[in-house]
């Protein structure tokens, strides 16, 4: 059962080992519905591995992961998507040779109801559904400001637009939880401030919860009320950005770094 006091996502004592490396070590996390939550830490800290355990790409070796109070520790990636967990990737993964619109249509198709036979025979119901899906896809492109690029080839878009297209595609699966892996990577200050406004609006307009990995501290402090700082797979600090910046072990972990 879930209610307002049930976290949307909870990780309890989660561990993931690769040989001798403890990529995540006794990791705890609680994210309430509608949070925008930040996950920070140096390279190799285990951030992406956390996303991979939540989405079933990796199975946790220890611990428990709950989504809306339900145990999803052993979930498969397609089951995570069906439950409403969507993600973007640290290295953008689009169908580069397909149109912008088609990249979103493929994600919309996840939830539609026509059969493969209907699709092959192109029966009227299929045509109606595809028209509806196309309109839906354009709607998502509008929400990320890419509707005028619908027929462009995805791989030809500038980097910042490709990141937005990935987010539009994630939104097309109708997620409850959106996991963003370094959305501002490779962006300059102006572009990352624009991304902040964009994500604020996306969160305002849709009933989503966001967990984001991000190195740009100005992005995290503008978006996230709470964050967790990770180093060597362990939580160093948890709190507001201002609070974790004061934390001695966080300062030490980032010595010479950008925090």
Ligand X SMILES: Nc1ncnc2c1ncn2[C@@H]1O[C@H](COP(=O)(O)OP(=O)(O)O)[C@@H](O)[C@H]1O
Instruction: Give me the residues that bind ligand X (CB under 6 A), please.
Output: 18, 21, 23, 41, 43-49
4 binds, among Mg ion, ligand X, none (CB under 5 to 8 A by kind): none
Nearer to ligand X, 23 or 250 (CB): 23
Nearer to Mg ion, 48 or 55 (CB): 48
Helix (H) or strand (E) holding 11: strand 9-18
Nearer to ligand X, 76 or 128 (CB): 76
> What tokens were used for 177?
């939880």
Nearer to ligand X, 18 or 159 (CB): 18
> Residue numbers of the site for Mg ion (CB under 5 A)?
47-48, 90
Place of tokens 């559904």: 129
- Find the shortest distance in angstroms from Cβ 21 to ligand X: 5
Give the strand pairing for 21-31 and 177-181: unpaired
Other C-beta atoms closer than 10 Å to the C-beta of 61 total: 14
Nearer to Mg ion, 21 or 110 (CB): 21
Contacts (Cβ under 8 Å, ≥6 apart) of 26 = 13, 14, 15, 62, 63, 234
Reference 9, options 80, 67, 91; nearest CA is: 67
Burial of 216 (0-12, 13-18, 19+ CB in 10 A): buried
173 binds, among ligand X, Mg ion, none (CB under 5 to 8 A by kind): none
Whole-angstrom distance, CA of residue 99 vs CA of residue 104: 9
- Find the shortest distance in angstroms from Cβ 226 to ligand X: 18
46 binds, among ligand X, Mg ion, none (CB under 5 to 8 A by kind): ligand X
Nearer to ligand X, 13 or 207 (CB): 13
- Find the shortest distance in angstroms from Cβ 136 to ligand X: 32
- Find the shortest distance in angstroms from Cβ 39 to ligand X: 8
41 binds, among ligand X, Mg ion, none (CB under 5 to 8 A by kind): ligand X
Rg of the chain in Å (alpha carbons): 19
> What tokens were used for 78?
């397609």
21 binds, among Mg ion, ligand X, none (CB under 5 to 8 A by kind): ligand X
- Find the shortest distance in angstroms from Cβ 24 to ligand X: 8
- Bridge partners of residue 40, in order along the sequence: 229
- Find the shortest distance in angstroms from Cβ 217 to ligand X: 15
């Amino acid at each position: 059962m879930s209610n307002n006091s049930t976290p949307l996502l909870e990780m309890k004592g989660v561990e993931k080992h690769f040989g001798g490396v403890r990529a995540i070590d006794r990791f705890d996390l609680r994210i309430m519905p509608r949070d925008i939550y930040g996950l920070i830490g140096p390279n190799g800290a285990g951030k992406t591995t956390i996303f991979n355990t939540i989405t079933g790409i990796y199975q946790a070796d220890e611990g428990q992961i709950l989504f809306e109070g339900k145990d999803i520790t052993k979930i498969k990636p397609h089951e995570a998507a069906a439950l409403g967990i969507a993600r973007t990737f640290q290295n953008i993964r689009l169908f580069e040779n397909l149109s912008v619109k088609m990249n979103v249509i493929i994600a919309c198709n996840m939830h539609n109801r026509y059969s493969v036979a209907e699709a092959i025979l192109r029966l009227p119901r299929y045509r109606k559904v595809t028209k509806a899906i196309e309109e839906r896809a354009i709607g998502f492109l509008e929400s990320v400001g890419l509707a005028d690029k619908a027929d462009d080839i995805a791989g030809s878009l500038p980097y910042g637009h490709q990141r937005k297209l990935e987010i539009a595609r994630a939104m097309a699966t109708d997620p409850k939880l959106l996991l963003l892996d370094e959305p501002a990577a490779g962006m300059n200050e102006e572009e990352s401030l624009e991304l902040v406004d964009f994500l604020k609006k996306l969160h305002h307009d849709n009933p989503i919860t966001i967990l984001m990995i991000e190195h740009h501290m100005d992005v995290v402090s503008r978006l996230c009320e709470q964050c967790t700082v990770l180093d060597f797979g362990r939580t160093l600090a948890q709190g507001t950005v201002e609070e974790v910046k004061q934390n001695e072990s966080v300062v030490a972990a980032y010595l010479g770094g950008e925090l």
